[in-house]
A and B are shown apart, each in its own frame.
Chain A
Amino acid sequence: MVKKISLVIDELTGCEGCKMSLLELIEPLLDSIMRDEIEIVYAPILLDAESFDHADIALLAGSIRNSEDLEKARWIREKVDILVATGACAYIGGIHGLGNLFTWRDLVSGVFGNVNHEVADEIPSLLEYTKPLWREVNVDYFIPGCPPNPDTIAKVLDGIKRGLKPHEIFEARTVCDECPLKREEKSASKVLRVIDTPVEQSTDRCLLEQGYLCLGPSTLAGCGALCPKKGVPCIGCYGFVVKPGESFDNAIARTIASIGASFKIEPPERIDDEILDTIGTFMKFILPSFFIPRIIK
């Protein structure tokens, strides 16, 4: 008889979207549970269990924003064999990582006005900045995406079962490889924004070549090019392709380099004004994984 795999599902700071994505997998998951292959031992969203002793795999979503997250991440890391960073927040920092452009004091006073920053002992205190899991604990596998495509989750779980390494699960394929739009090897001479000039519904031309800022060329494949297919430029939620042994900085740099080369804007200095929000465009999800993860004063 095959050994039963024990599973932990939990979430740190995040939007719970990753769990919704996981629920789409419920049928195959239920099948495995019925066949006694998988056992869920700890999952606050599903079960009443308040603790667990040991588990094989933990699907941990969300990023580390406050002291409770940090404690929880370390607690789960100690008790499981394989920790899987699930979703963009756990893997690279996530969209709320853009909050790192402000200090936490600015964030609090920006929302609540002039309040006393001394918080009570019972409430978890905010950390200096949002961190992806890898900055605090060892991560064995990752599931990218905001939220992850159910197929991607299934692919990773299958890969773990077969004992593959993370870079063997994901080949270095990009969204462009999955995208049906046609390239004509042309470059755009100005940056278009969807909000000003909507994409033609029947278009079959590459969005980047039309002038929309699409991060497809360097974003990891797996979503099936959902957005470009419907005429929305890719925003890079799957994270950039990171080759084995490479840092996130290099992946970010490669993205900037490819966009910088594909827009023929004259004079070249104007590209920053054309893009308007450079940091929000290139680092919508990946800022906490950059070598400067937050604003330095």
Chain B
Amino acid sequence: MAKKHKPIRPLILAYCCNYCGYAGADLAGVSRIEYEPNVVIVRVPCSGRIGPEHIIEALKEGYDGVLVVGCHYGDCHFISGNYVSKRRFTLIKSILTSLGVEEERVRFEHISAAEGRRFAEVVNEMTRKLRELGPSPFVR
């Protein structure tokens, strides 16, 4: 994260899969749905690409929350990417929460390409919760 300008807080990093999550976020934009500007979207080929290392790295870099957006079960373009991603996510989330990281900081959502409104809702909801929690304990 660039140190020159002060980023808005809370800051959420959203890993969105190309075929569902990113298309959903795109639809939210095209439909002119207003939502909180606190999210930085990273477009990935499939949510199956996102493993524990990406979530750990985002927290270490000082993001207040991490959101992984994948397809609904059965909709994955690569057949089982979102299943694998969800399993890995569940494990790393369990480890982080048992070390005292708040549950709301890491979140997995299934959003299809048609659910622009759902994407906006998720971002708004997560921003509100993170605002209540305060800054991440790892902000440098």
Contact = CB atoms under 8 A, between A and B. Distances in A.
A252 B52 contact: yes
Contacts of A259: 91
Contacts, number: 85
Contact of A261 (B59, B84, B90, B137): B84
Interface string A262-280: 0111111101100100110
B51 A249 contact: no
Given A261-B84, A278-B95, A296-B101, A271 B90 contact: yes
- Majority SS at the chain A contact face: helix
B53 A272 contact: no
Nearest to A249: B56
B31 interface: no
A54 interface: no
B114 interface: no
A252 B52 CA distance: 9
A246 to B, nearest CB: 10
Contact of B96 (A260, A264, A275, A292): A292
Contacts of B95: 256, 278-279, 282-283
A203 to B, nearest CB: 25
B87 interface: yes
A237 B57 CA distance: 25
Which size class do A's interface residues fall under?
A: 20 to 34
A181 interface: no
B100 interface: yes
A279 B99 contact: yes
Nearest to A282: B95
Given A253-B92, A292-B101, A269 B56 contact: no
A253 B55 CA distance: 9
Contact of A260 (B57, B60, B84, B138): B84
A259 B88 CA distance: 8
B35 interface: no
A278 B91 contact: yes
A129 to B, nearest CB: 11
A101 B101 CA distance: 12
Contacts of A271: 87, 90-91
Interface of B: 51-53, 56-57, 59-60, 73, 83-84, 86-88, 90-96, 98-101, 137-138
Interface of A: 101, 249-250, 252-254, 256-257, 259-261, 263-269, 271-272, 275, 278-279, 282-283, 290-292, 294-297
